Chain A
């Protein structure tokens, strides 16, 4: 049976009917058309589906949709403001942190959750924040650089 939930998505209030068995990722991608959040594994093992819920990075592929009720949720689509990309997005682009790009949105969301909580993270903090985001292309080095550059720039 469908249930109605209301939550804040990228700073806008959303009310939508959902099926209890859906995951948050399913709602975002298949119902709301927000395909920036990716599914890489479906089991919380790769981080491609990372979104920010109440300030924390979460795997949306194993997040029960009904738990979204009343929450403040940000996806990759919520980062740019008036067509201007977020500093983290710009840093990823400029530092070469993007290759095939499939892990990129999740990676950026993990990095954002970190910087929101800790504006001046250490390299270890950065690694801890993205340890659940697998990337097969870049070897991570330039991703770490990108996040560092934003931290330093604040």
Chain B
């Protein structure tokens, strides 16, 4: 491993200033990706600029919607009850990334800036319409997360720009979300496929109670959906995002459109799954085969949507982990 200088600025301005004066320099946050790349000699910067001392990047702000500083760790997010309740898909993702040791230091900004197609937090951020707030020498700008990724390891960040935070709008009533990470192992694993969904449904008190009774059973997902159809639950709005199916995490926009305004039914979910699968271009890799990933999109979109609905209908219940959704 070649030698490098290590800088520890205390403010965003200072960090940008250091960066703009250096060649072959790289920002480092939690370091769980950067340090590994260094040790594998995949990168060899002469300068590393640590962001860890910049406390203004560590905020979680829930006043209007949700703002998460880029230096917030996965563990911080796991422990945030507000996020868990309202932006559940994000907690689904942060709680299953790497291991406890990794989550204790790995930051959400780092996970996104590393721009891996498998980045766990990318799908939830996409479904929450997150904007990346970026600060650079030329000032501050906001980029829709959809536009943030350019390809594997590539983002819109200019050399002397820092990702400050993610900003997500407030969610409507009766909105639920979920992220499902499909893995071979139950921990310490990258997703074969990741799917996040957010759905807003029309729901009155009475139908909430009836749905609740339905969802409390351990019936199969299709049986529950069949009965749900009679409730006439309408999907007001939906978001679907998928990881490891393209060079970058993507939204399944056609599938989202197919959901909007429809009455929820097993047929609808299956159709939406098919559409989402058609929007993906997964590849064969040692981590998973393309055909299998496509098949799993159909299954996981359905399950993630179910899980999202479950969270609307039964907001205070833990979802049984052994349940398929």
Contacts and interface: CB of A to CB of B under 8 A. Distances in A.
A1 B5 contact: yes
B291 interface: no
Interface in B1-51: 1-6, 8, 28, 31-32, 35-36, 38-40, 48, 50
A64 B28 contact: yes
Contacts of B99: 44, 47, 131-133
Given A128-B100, A131-B99, A21 B2 contact: yes
A34 B66 CA distance: 43
B217 interface: no
Nearest to B2: A21
A57 B31 contact: no
Contacts of B32: 44, 59, 62
Interface in A1-36: 1, 3, 19-21, 23
Contact residue range for chain A? Answer: 20 to 34
B187 interface: yes
B101 A20 contact: no
B39 A42 contact: yes
A132 to B, nearest CB: 2
A29 to B, nearest CB: 15
Contact of A132 (B3, B52, B98): B98
Given A44-B102, A56-B75, A57-B101, A62 B5 contact: no
B70 to A, nearest CB: 17
B101 A110 contact: yes
A43 B39 contact: yes
B188 A50 contact: no
A86 to B, nearest CB: 19
B6 A66 contact: yes
B53 to A, nearest CB: 9
A22 B205 CA distance: 60
Contacts of A131: 99-100, 186-188
Contacts of A63: 31, 35, 105
A91 interface: no
Interface in A52-83: 56-59, 62-64, 66-67, 69
Of B8, B52, B101, most A-chain CB atoms within 10 Å: B101
A23 B104 contact: no
A132 B39 CA distance: 19
Given A43-B40, A132-B99, A66 B104 contact: no
A43 B36 contact: yes
Contacts of A132: 98-102, 187-188
B39 A57 contact: no
Contacts of A19: 3
A45 interface: yes
A20 B48 contact: yes
Interface string A139-151: 0000000000000
A47 B35 contact: no
Nearest to A46: B188
Nearest to A45: B188
A42 B187 CA distance: 18
A129 interface: yes
A127 B5 CA distance: 38
A63 B4 CA distance: 15
Nearest to B35: A62
A129 B35 contact: no
A42 to B, nearest CB: 6
Contacts of A42: 39
B101 A67 contact: no
A137 to B, nearest CB: 17
B102 A59 contact: yes
A128 B3 CA distance: 35
A20 B26 CA distance: 14
Contacts of B98: 44, 132
B82 to A, nearest CB: 20
Closest 8 CB pairs of A and B: A132-B99, A131-B187, A62-B35, A20-B6, A56-B104, A59-B101, A132-B101, A66-B6
Interface of A: 1, 3, 19-21, 23, 42-45, 47, 50, 56-59, 62-64, 66-67, 69, 110, 113, 127-134
11 contacts: A1-B5, A20-B5, A20-B48, A43-B36, A59-B101, A62-B32, A64-B50, A113-B100, A132-B99, A132-B102, A133-B99
